[in-house]
Structure 1
Amino acid sequence: MSNCIKRTSSCLIISTLLTFTSPGLAKTQIEIDYDTASFKNEKLKAGNVEVAVSYDRKEEFNDIDNLQYQILYNGIPQLTASTYTRFTGGVFLQDLDGNGVTEVVVRTFSGGAHCCTNYTIYTRQNNQFVKTETGFLDGIGGTFQDLDKDGKVEFITIDNSFLYGFSSYAGSFAPSRIYTFTNGKFNNVTRRYPQHLKSRAWEMYQAFIQSRKEQYEVNGILAGYVAQKALLGEYEEGWKFMLANYDRTSEWGLAIYQENREIGKYPNFPTALRAFLIQQGYLDKNGKPITN
């Protein structure tokens, strides 16, 4: 089954970000892909913020930094940094928090079949640029979109802890994570966007139907579905659906680990899932859904 069907937000291209190339308008985005040739000192500018970007395309991958950038404010250099990206990456300028000051966003990719994108965000605070990172995330990592059209951008991604948790990567379907970016920090606001959550829950349900039809893995989808329903305040409904449909023969995710050592085994998938949902903050220590 297509991974794009099961993890729509992981497979979206950042289509909402605009690259200004019209005469008289400064360029605000550089995209790097497999065919991008080396370049030096490509300029991006938005308001008082400017970035000079250089990229060294490598035929052989050796983890040596190949993406360099310098950030300027009012024409004065503020910082210079370098990093490594493989196959794909990019730099763009956008006001993420709607405060009138542009953020610099650097996207890098580590390589690997299912891994991993990191976003590094530079925001101006107290007359300097402060760095924040998402950490490595699955696939393209996520998308920046203004979901509620309030002028502030949300970062839409998934809870990566569900990948491989109860099925193979292809059989997993992780629940939503939505963040705002304010004062240099990401804030989890997932529950504020029920329409987005409902849409993904429906995608999960459709993926489950298709997997069951193909006699493929279902527990990885059901795990994400229960968590997604919990985010919607519909945990009991999701739990009942899982109980009626889970694969009782699968032992994926039943092992209990402590300090990377297996110390036991859960008796079944529902027991393992409940423990996992407590661990990941979807349920409280008593197994009751958390509502905020």
Structure 2
Amino acid sequence: MRRLLPTIAVAAVCLFGAPTALATTQTAHGGTVTATFTFEGKVPNFRGLHLTISRAGAVVYNQPVVAKFCGKLCWPGPLVGRRSAVQVVDLEHTGDPDIVLNLYSGGAHCCTLVQIFSFDAAANTYVKTERVFGDPDARIVNLRHDGRFEFLTADDAFAYRFTDYAASGLPIEILTYANGRFTDVTRSYPRLVAKDAAVWLKAFNGMARAGYPDSVGVIAAWAADEDLLGHSKLVTRYLAHQARAGHLNAPVGAGGAKFVAQLQKFLRRRGYLR
């Protein structure tokens, strides 16, 4: 499902004059564009995050990394998978690649941030767009193997919405980026949505032996996926049946028919249910 992205070189070197500090340099290339991301420290004490972008060897962007969500206190991301935090990718399919910088706000599991830098020829510099994805990771993928890239993530609006985070289900979300905006294209990938729905339904059914003690989070994600697929009547029937059977439970918050009513209202507001 992934397409190989431009080669990313990651190197760590000791910072001269400060033997206890570790400076890390991550560099990504795409065509004549080079992005260099540097920072010092390690979890949980990162500092000095900085991004430099050059075109054909000439530096056109050279700034400290600052985010609206975490200011200058962001961490380089992602924290797992040994992926570089910086990528050079033609997200907009224009032939002029964008720079993608992955950041993390710190904390147990939140939040993932992505900054995208697009070239402004008139100003001869890069313009930043920022999005907070929340709890889930956001991976750049090429789902149709056509050179057009998507962000594969999950809908963070479901985190904590009906139960605690650990028991929440976050349905699949697929976004594209162009002209400074993200567009939700999840409905264009029904096979992936159906696969995700099957995962949540399996998780729900797996709670049967324990008596469905905290089941509303995962069934909410299943309902969202099925509504995206146009199966709203199926969702309504199934939820009503499970409510009557006493299978829709939450340790805190609504369960049963009251949960179903809240869920349907939420899904309509979020655009899943039409």
Question: What TM-score do you get using the length of structure 2 for normalisation?
Answer: 0.79
Q: Distance in 1 between matches of 2:90 and 2:6?
A: 14
Q: Distance in 2 between matches of 1:31 and 1:165?
A: 41
CA distances 1:196-245 after superposition (whole Å, capped 9, x unpaired): 11110111111111123333411111111111111111111122222222
The 5-angstrom pairing of residues 30-109 of structure 1 reads: 30=10, 38-39=22-23, 42-58=26-42, 61=45, 65-83=47-65, 84-85=74-75, 88=79, 90-109=85-104
Is the 1:115–1:137 Cα contact (8 Å) retained in structure 2? yes
Measured on the aligned residues, the alpha-carbon RMSD in Å equals: 2.8
The 5-angstrom pairing of residues 263-274 of structure 1 reads: 268-274=258-264
In the superposition, relative to structure 1, how do residues 249 and 120 fare at CA in structure 2: closer, same or farther (>3 Å)?
closer
Question: Paired residue for 1:121, among 116, 125, 131?
Answer: 116
Q: Distance in 2 between matches of 1:59 and 1:203?
A: 32
Shift of residue 269 of structure 1?
0.8
Question: Paired residue for 1:229, among 206, 223, 226?
Answer: 226
Q: Distance in 2 between matches of 1:219 and 1:134?
A: 28
Q: Distance in 2 between matches of 1:185 and 1:115?
A: 22
Is the 2:27–2:35 Cα contact (8 Å) retained in structure 1? yes
Percent identity reads 28
Is the 1:174–1:224 Cα contact (8 Å) retained in structure 2? yes
Q: Distance in 2 between matches of 1:171 and 1:144?
A: 26
In the superposition, relative to structure 1, how do residues 249 and 106 fare at CA in structure 2: closer, same or farther (>3 Å)?
closer
The 5-angstrom pairing of residues 77-226 of structure 1 reads: 77-83=59-65, 84-85=74-75, 88=79, 90-127=85-122, 128-139=125-136, 141-215=137-211, 216-226=213-223
Alignment correspondent of 2:241? 244
Is the 2:100–2:117 Cα contact (8 Å) retained in structure 1? yes
Is the 1:212–1:218 Cα contact (8 Å) retained in structure 2? no
In the superposition, relative to structure 1, how do residues 232 and 30 fare at CA in structure 2: closer, same or farther (>3 Å)?
farther
The 5-angstrom pairing of residues 2-21 of structure 1 reads: 17-18=4-5, 20=7
Shift of residue 192 of structure 1?
0.6
Letter in 1 for 2:141: Q
In the superposition, relative to structure 1, how do residues 16 and 168 fare at CA in structure 2: closer, same or farther (>3 Å)?
farther
| SS, match of residue 207 in structure 1 | helix
Is the 1:230–1:238 Cα contact (8 Å) retained in structure 2? yes
Structure 2, gaps ≥5 residues long: 13-20, 66-73
In the superposition, relative to structure 1, how do residues 281 and 232 fare at CA in structure 2: closer, same or farther (>3 Å)?
same
Alignment correspondent of 2:267? 277
128-137 or 169-178: bigger deviation = 128-137
Tell me the matched-pair count. Answer: 247
In the superposition, relative to structure 1, how do residues 124 and 151 fare at CA in structure 2: closer, same or farther (>3 Å)?
same
Is the 1:19–1:29 Cα contact (8 Å) retained in structure 2? no
